[in-house]
Structure formats: C-alpha cells, structure tokens
Structure 1
C-alpha cells in the first residue's frame, strides 16, 4: 500500500490580510472567530497596531469588557506578574465580570503565597522523575487507542485522540476505566460549551453549569471513597495535604481534581490533532517520523503550533502600564497565548512548523508561578503518543474537511478525518 498525496496540506496557515481599520469591528469574545484561521490575521494586526486592545463586551456581568494583549512580551508579563495581576477573579473569559467560585481553593485560581504552599506537594508528585512511573500505563493506553486503526484505512483522529487525556489522568487519579467516556464528555462541556457537539438545547451557559455540576459531583464521590479507603493516587495525596497547618479541605480537593482533568483535556488531544492537521498529506510527517532524535523538539513545536489553550485571563490589582497603555485596577486582561506563540519578535518564521526549532520558548503551558503543574506528564504523554503513531503509520493523508471546536478558550478539532497507511514490518 503506497501513500496517497493530498493537495492543500503543505501550506502553513499564515495570517491572511486584514485591514487595520477592521480591528475596531473585531470581536475577540466570538467563538466563531477563534474557531477559524482568521484569528491569525487578527492577532497579527493587533500585535502590529494595537498590542493592548480594549474589547467591549455586552452582558458581561459587572465588566464593560476586557483588554487583549497579543505580543509575547506582554502575555508573558501578565501571566507571570502575580503582584500586579490576580488569578482569583476569573482565569477564563467565561468568568468575565463574575467572582471565581474556586478562588483560594483551586491552585489555578489562587494567588501566591497560598498558591505556592498548595502547589509544592502536588508538584513533587508530578515531577519529571515521578511522571516516568506512568510510561508503561500511558504506552499501553496509546496502543489501545490506535489498535483499531493500525491496519490502515479511514478514521477520525479527533475521536481517537479524545481518549488520550483519561489514558494519562485516569491512572493518576485512580479513575475507573468504565468512567472515562463520561468524564471526557463532561470535560468537553466545560471547555467548549459553545460547540454544537457539547452544547445542550438550553444554550452555552446551561451547558457550562451542567458540566461543572456533574464533574464536581463525580469528584466529590471519588474523594469520599478515597477518604474511607485511602490510596496512593493523587486524590489521596490531596486529601492528606495540609496548607497553613490545616487540611486542604474537601472542596479544594475536588476543585483541583477538576482543574487537572480539564488541563489534560485541553492539551493532550489537541496538540497532536493540530500537528496532524498540518502534516497529513505532506512529506514532513515522514521526515519527522524517521528522526527519533527530533521527537522532543518536535513535541515542543507541536505545543507552540497548537497553543490549545487560546487564552488565560487576569484582573489588574492596581494601575499597570502595558506597552504604553494604562490598565486600571479591577479591569480584566486576556492574554492570548496563541498569538504570543506566533510573535515574530520571538519566533523566526512563526507560521512554519519546524520540528528543529531551538530555542522554543513557547507559552503553551503558561508562565510564572501558575506554569502548568502537569507539564512534565503532558510532555511525556505526547512523546509516547507520537513515537507510537510513527511506529504504526508510514504516512497519514486527509480524508475530508476537518472541523474545529467552537470555543473562546479551546483551540482544537472536533473532527479530523484521516487515512492511515500502516508501516511495513520491515520498516526501520
């Protein structure tokens, strides 16, 4: 069986032309914009002409809108500067103008110094050396995901990849395999509530509320079971933790389990999907597959390229100067990671997927004290996935139009139809 070529896969999705005058009409809170490649043109023009841009938003609670930052330097500053910016008043656009109910309980929504005391024990449990304990489990899980398609033919890579987060997080949290499909669905409702595949008939807000409620109920039950029986998983570790001399608290345990699942559900499926959407039907897939020495740098490039978390939000604690613009105390600032990771001031030829790229100081995992606590495990899982994928398929070609997830937060694929061409047994 020889690979088929597919037209249209070779050109990178560089920013199309956008008249600077159109920026006043751009709505960066529109999930349809962020589900299209037009966002690259918008981000490009914002970086050039309005790196700190006010975006009015109707019906945003007490907020009138938010500031957008699109340059790498500003995005890095907003995410890393916990003195000037707080994470306790909402970290995502869907909380704009509302109090974050997880503030002070969930690491992602807690500022230092409490954040640091909460993070340290979990960080030790998820260090690079600890992550290596999961190599066998993750490898077996990845092989199981690919097994039904290893003989070749058409398959939806997005559907296959949807199972990857629980392959990684399931053993870490001690979650039964039978529960993985439901947790995958609920995570989708919480990260892509605007997408038709997840949205309830009652609308996006109802979808988000239902997803939150059911995930919190699930992890509440799981924490109750661990409190009775004990264990060596991360839930048990959280239950044993003390912060400032007091137990972490059941609500905080549940909130952090929720955060970990959502973090994995954002990163793990959509990084490989974005890479494959770009590489399928080109010779670049095969070139990377035959260079195991470029596996690590290639994964870093896939993270930069995908930027699966489009944004994180912070609220200014005090007046702050960003690139000559004063952000008032109490105003929200949305840091667009996907734009920062294509900033030509930092990345040469940013619209090219270069598996040799070095250095690669991408912000896909954030920056500062809130840098993704699961980054070691995520990187390990992605390396194991790509290694197994390259061992399974000689090449991949498109088999229809991909469909992006409709979301202001999640940059990924709802559907990615491919044809797999299996590697011959005698291939090296």
Structure 2
C-alpha cells in the first residue's frame, strides 16, 4: 500500500497527536492522521508546549471558510506556525500579514507585475534554465532530481527581483533555513531558533541592500514597484519592501520546486509517467493535479478576531486557527478518489494556493514555471526510475522531497 493511501484510521489515536511536531512529516504526509481528523474531529484543539496551542482544521469546508473570512480570521498576527505566540513584525506592512482593505493596496501593484502577460518576457530564459537544470540527467547516470529543482524558484524570481545569478544558491539556502528550520540538512547546530535568526538576519540584510541599490539605480523590476508604492498616502518603508520580497521568496520556495519532485515520485511509483507525457493536452490539468497532490504549503495560520463557531466547536477571540491544506486537498467530500493522482481530474478546486483575498499572489508565475518544467521534462525523457532512498523535508509548513535520486531514460 502506498504511504499516501491512509487505509483504516481506527488505530490513529488523536489524543496523542501533535501536529506541531516536525517529525510527524519526516517520512511524507500524514494522510492517515488527517483522514482520522476529518472523520472524527475536523476541528480539534492542539496544545503546544510553551505556546498555548491552536485549533487544527482538517476539512475542506472548514479550511475554505477560515481562508475566505478575513474579518473573523485575521492574517495580521502571523501566517505560519513558527509565529505562534509571537508578535508579527510585518503586520500591516507585508501583504501576506495584512487584511483588506490595506492588503489590496499593497497586493494589487504586485499582482499586476506578476501576471502571465507581464512575465512572458522571461519565459524563454526560464525554458533555457530548466533545460540546463535537467541536462545532467541526459547521460543516464544517477541524478538527484530534487537538487535540480531546488534552483527553480530563483531562476523564476531572480530576474524579476534583479538578483544576480551568482547569488541564487546562497539565497536558496537561506530561504530553506527559514521554512524548514527543523530539518537536519538546514538546521544549525545551535538549534531551531538560532537557525531562524541566522536565516532572517542574512536574508533580510541581503534584501535591504538590494532595495537600497534599487532606490539609487532603479531597474524597472518588481523591487522598484514595491519601493515606489504608496499605501495610505505614504511610501512603503525599506523594511516593508524587504518583508514583501521575503514573502515572495517563501511562496516560490514551496510551490515551484517541490511540486515536480512529489509528482515525479508518484508517477514513478504508479507507472503514470508515460500516460501524462504522451498527452500534451493534459499539461494544464496535470499541473493542477500535481499542485493538489503535493500541497507544498502544508498549513496557513490565522487568529480569530471574535468568538465564533466552526463546525460544532466554539473558537474564542484571540485563538489561533491552523488550516491543513494537505488534508483539505484529500477531502472525500470534495474530491472523488482523492488518493489517486489523476491528471484528467476536473474540476479540481484545490487549496494549494490558498483562497479568498490571500490567494497566492504568485499563482500565475508558479503555474507558468511548472508548465514549463513539465513540458521540458516530458520532451527530453521517456521514463524515470528511482536510484536510491527518497528523503522528505522535515517541516510543519513546507511539504516536499529534498532528495530524489533517479536514473532517467532520454528520448
């Protein structure tokens, strides 16, 4: 039985469950746990040592409600579990940590810059970068597919932010430390908190220097759009520009590299590679299924602004609420045969990019990157086989594969 298929859930003890423990995700997604939650406790309280706790939402309907009702469930107190019990320094300055109407004032100019039409000028450069990343697999030897895809976010966002290519590897490492601070490959010997502090200090310092350089010599790119923006009659501060660039990098680090990794792993296991590769008209629907299947952003955090009801549970004002995207995207009430990777699946209203006003601002650019990657991969290779042990990211937020050794058969 595939690990993705949860089987029976009678043996799952929800009272012993700790969704805040990154070790729960070290071998992949805990679909048996999430299915048990949907069946028995679609909204349940999860205590967290030293930081009170949060309401965990497992159903699609519950997740959709929390994500769309910004008046009841605010983003201004942090959107990731590692912010639980902390003050959000980017509140009302970063579009991810701001509610409407201010949220829209920051988001709309960024959204315009990230439309497919606006980024098509980078499409050929992206295609060339993808071909370069895949080229080492053409010799038929062992190839770490995940190492290749790890460069995708910066290949897509780097030109839009004016970040030199020679800096991409360093920034990719710092972003990984920010979103997978509990993973042994990214964590510093001093522990989780030290990892986050180092990553944030170096990443924010780099981005601040980038903003200062752009203000001296504008380059008509996304940094300049943010730096020239006015919200409430005032220009965004340099710190606010940095916070928004950071948010874009985090989103890209999840959606763009890990979707191909997890999708290819399933295509190898299920034998479905040839079918998708041989039907180019299924590229778009297959990308949507890959997004649903992977659910690379495992959760989103919100805080209740008032006492409310969610299902049969009363949530008090100030309580943290976490929606589990991987669970919502396997909800049997919404998706037929949810544990089958079906590139022909329609409709496919997954929540991998969120929902409501905070729907991922970079969704268009992520879809373009993924379509480009899969098209180039299918054009070059007729099949893949596993060539070693697969390793998953250990993180409560980032869902994906960090090592995927394969052998490819070129066409």
**Range class of TM-score, shorter chain:** over 0.9
Q: Give deviations 1:148-202, integer Å, cap 9, x for gaps.
A: 2223221111111100101101111010000000001001000100000000000
2:9 paired residue among 12, 18, 26 = 18
Which residue pairs with 2:335 in the alignment? Answer: 347
> 247, 251, 256: which is aligned to 1:259?
247
Deviation larger for 17-26 or 300-309 = 17-26
Runs of 4+ in 1 over 4 A off after TM superposition: none
Q: Hey, what's the Cα distance between the residues in 2 that align with 1:37 and 1:201?
A: 24
- Is 1:30 aligned with 2:18? no
**136-145 vs 287-296, which moves further:** 136-145
For the pair 1:403 / 2:381, whether they are aligned, the reply is no
Partner in structure 2 of residue 315 of structure 1: 303
1:57 aligns to 2:48 (yes or no): yes
Query: Residues 367-409 of structure 1, C-alpha deviation per residue, up to 9 Å, x if partnerless?
Result: 0000000000000000000000011111001111200010000
Displacement after TM superposition at 1:141 (Å): 1.0
The corresponding residue for 1:5 is none
Distance of 2:232 and 2:322 partners within structure 1: 31
Question: Per-residue deviation at 1:128?
Answer: 2.5
User: Which residue, 276, 290, 312 being the options, matches 2:278?
Assistant: 290
In the alignment, which residue of structure 1 is the partner of 2:73?
Answer: 85
The separation in 1 between residues aligned to 2:335 and 2:97, in whole angstroms, is 30
In structure 1, the gaps of 5 or more residues are 1-7, 424-428
CA distance in 1, matches of 2:237, 2:12: 51
**Structural RMSD (CA):** 1.2
Aligned with 1:305 (options 273, 293, 300): 293
Residues 392 and 105 (structure 1 numbering): CA distance in 2 closer, same or farther, change over 3 Å? Answer: same
Work out whether residues 136 and 143 of structure 2, in 8 Å CA contact, stay in contact via their aligned partners in 1: no
Indicate if the aligned counterparts of 1:12 and 1:351 stay in contact, CA closer than 8 A.
no
Once residues 42 and 383 of structure 1 are traced to their aligned partners in structure 2, the CA distance between those partners, rounded to angstroms, is 32
- Tell whether 2:344 aligns with 1:356: yes
- 1:108-147 equivalence runs, <5 A: 108-147=96-135
8 Å contact kept, 1:16–1:38: no
1:369 paired to 2:360: no
Q: Which residue of the partner structure matches residue 221 of structure 1?
A: 209
Output the CA distance in 1 between the equivalents of 2:173 and 2:59.
34
**What SS does structure 1 have at the residue aligned with 2:361?**
coil
Q: 1:290 Cα shift?
A: 0.7
**Equivalent residues in 2 for 1:140-289, closer than 5 Å:** 140-280=128-268, 282-289=270-277
Q: Write the deviation string for residues 52-80 of structure 1: whole angstroms up to 9, x where unpaired.
A: 000111111xxx11100000000011111
Q: Return the offset for 1:90.
A: 1.4
TM-score using structure 1 length: 0.94
- How many pairs were matched up? 411
Do the aligned partners of 2:45 and 2:54 also contact (CA within 8 Å) in 1?
A: yes
Please identify, of 174-183 and 35-44, the stretch whose mean Cα deviation from structure 2 is larger. Answer: 35-44
> Aligned with 1:108: secondary structure?
helix
Give the distance between the partners of 2:119 and 2:8, measured in 1 at CA: 43
